[in-house]
Amino acid sequence: MPDIAFAELAGRSTVGSLFRSVARLHADRPAVETAGRALTYGQLDERVTRVVEALRRFEVARGDRVAILSENRPEYLELELACATLGAILACQNWRLAPPELKHCIALVSPTLCVVSERHAELLERAAVGPIPTLRLGAEYEARLAPAPARRPEIAAEPEDGLLILYTSGTTGLPKGAVISHRAELARCLVFFAELGLRPGDTSVAWAPFFHMAATEPALGTLTTGGKVIVVDGFRPDEIAGHVGRERLGHLLLMPGMIEPLIGELRARAIRPVGIRLCGAMADLVPAHQIAEVTTLLGAPYLNSFGSTETGVPPASGNVIPVGEVPARLSKRQNAFCEIRLVDAEDREVPPGTPGELAFRGPTCFSGYWNAPEVNAKEFRGGWFHMGDMFVQNPDGSLDFVDRVKYMIKSGGENVYPAEIERVLLADPRVADAVVVRRPDPRWGEVPIAVVAPKDETLAPADLLARCRAELAGYKQPKEIVFVALADLPRSTTGKIQRHEVEAWLRARSTTRAAP
């Protein structure tokens, strides 16, 4: 019989330990590059060691949370790797949030330390998060690192320890913190390599915000397998196009709203890619002709993805759209290394051809929402994570997205739940009722539209838009506010506003306005 205790010891690889192993093997290999600055694996390893010591001086220990509010910069990755060494959890804050939202997200995780960049220090101050020790990136950060001894600390983290907290929009009006473990993070990296054609050592361009899984996870996967991460401060099509023409890339992330500007840049400068293995994400929200055009220009297939912060690139990102193809359908393929079931409201499996909610399990799955036991009990019932997305399984085993159990708006790669916006609208005493629905948008895929029943004739749409600007991130703000009579809001027999009927009414209204 094998000795289970020894087997458990041998299986304790973590993000921190794998990074350290790569740094030993490839000390002179480039690890991180940004405008005007580059670090080898040896240099990055030394800085991470010093960051660990600096965090210890703030009494950060295993299991503690460190909140970070910063744009993309190399220090972000240093802090992720330092927390991975200590067994602490980096809670990645969204700098697009309004101060009340940010205050909630930071208070939710009770951090031992807040790390903030100069650019976002004012936002942190306006959020009024209370007496939490703060470390500012830049001169103060470097001063903290300078005296720290460069001796390598022991890896304190275990595979099931939390590594990151990434926030997801809340069905009840406030964001939730999804805890991603070392185990889940490494499994997500392996899925990309095993199934989607990426290779250890590939270069990654991290332009999406590091508070988003679309940037921070590929970056960590790259740094645990010996590749180079090019850090870009946001979506800069000129800079990204330049890297396309100079670097051999693994997966080049593209999101709705960003593809057309990149196409224009590639064409204007006649850039020829050095080599790209894979591009894109969320094909459902991208015009089909754009997919054909950008894959032709990049010489890379487009990822027909369906994943989530909670599950990673699985459960249904197992196929790609070939170069130059205008896709007629966007059926998904289940990923390897995961199990799925399509179930009805009683969690009974539905037959092929019948819509059912997708329930998921596998090593890429997150560890639950931070400090949300009731939500976790509901979402993980029966030992499966219930995603809230309805699919139909086709005779060939492929999957077609039908709708969302939890009504959600997917705008430019960000999830927006109507409850977040409705909470703000209904807080105005002049509003009798309000509902937020989605409207197709040629640039962002979908955008939120608010339909409001006022109970005070002094109320104007501009008043509510100003309120939303003060309390909500920009991407969550309604693109239009439409006033209707309270009696005109369509309701079910239980009194619930029927969103799909509101959507249909808005479509008809738009068609009537456009008619000559």
Rounded to an integer, what distance in angstroms lies between the CA atom of residue 359 and that of residue 181? Answer: 20
Nearest to 298 by CA among 277, 318, 281: 277
Q: State the pTM of this model.
A: 0.83
Please identify which residue in the block is written with the tokens 């005007």.
Answer: 36
What domains lie within the chain, and their CATH numbers? 339-404 (2.30.38.10), 411-514 (3.30.300.30)
Strand 89-92 to 445-454 pairing: unpaired
Q: For residue 118, what are its two tokens? A: 């100069």
Q: For residue 269, what are its two tokens? A: 């400068």
Rounded to an integer, what distance in angstroms lies between the CA atom of residue 173 and that of residue 88? Answer: 28
One-letter amino acid at 98 equals A
DSSP codes joined into one string, 178-237: EEEEHHHHHHHHHHHHHHS---TT-BEEE-S-TTSHHHHHHHHHHHTTT--EEE-SS--H
Q: What is the dihedral of CA 108, 110, 111, 115, to 10 degrees?
A: 50
Whether the bond into 99 is cis, omega within 30 of 0: no
In three-state secondary structure terms, 419 is helix
Q: Is 484 exposed, middle or buried (0-12, 13-18, 19+ CB in 10 A)?
A: middle
Q: For residue 41, what are its two tokens? A: 């694996």
Rounded to an integer, what distance in angstroms lies between the CA atom of residue 118 and that of residue 323? Answer: 42
| Residue 423: how many other CB atoms lie within 10 Å | 18
What's the distance, CA 151 to chain centroid? Answer: 34
Helical packing angle, 237-246 and 259-268, nearest 10°: 60
Q: What is the DSSP letter of 487?
A: G
Q: For residue 146, what are its two tokens? A: 């300078």
Q: In tens digits, what is the pLDDT along the chain, a chain of 516 residues?
A: 455 454 455 568 999 999 999 999 999 999 999 987 999 999 999 999 999 999 999 999 999 999 999 999 999 999 999 999 999 999 999 999 989 999 999 999 999 999 999 999 999 999 999 999 999 999 999 999 998 777 888 999 999 999 999 998 765 567 899 999 999 999 999 999 999 989 999 999 999 999 999 999 999 999 999 999 999 999 999 999 999 999 999 999 998 778 889 999 999 999 999 999 999 998 887 878 899 999 999 999 999 999 999 999 999 999 999 999 999 889 999 999 999 999 998 999 999 988 899 999 999 999 999 999 999 999 999 999 999 888 889 999 999 887 667 777 888 878 787 877 887 888 888 988 889 999 988 888 899 999 998 988 899 999 999 999 998 989 999 999 999 998 888 876 545 688 888 988 888 887 666 555
Q: For residue 352, what are its two tokens? A: 């092929």
Rounded to an integer, what distance in angstroms lies between the CA atom of residue 435 and that of residue 432? Answer: 11
DSSP codes joined into one string, 279-321: E---GGGS-HHHHHHHHHHHT-PEE---EETTTEEEES---EE
What's the pLDDT at 141?
Answer: 98
One-letter amino acid at 513 equals R
Enumerate long-range contacts of 499-508, CB under 8 Å, 24 or more apart.
499/407, 499/418, 499/435, 499/437, 502/435, 502/437, 502/451, 503/437, 503/438, 503/439, 506/437, 506/439, 506/449, 506/451, 506/482
In three-state secondary structure terms, 137 is coil
Rounded to an integer, what distance in angstroms lies between the CA atom of residue 393 and that of residue 356? Answer: 9
C-alpha distances (whole Å) from 22 to each of 7, 18, 173, 201 are 23, 6, 42, 10
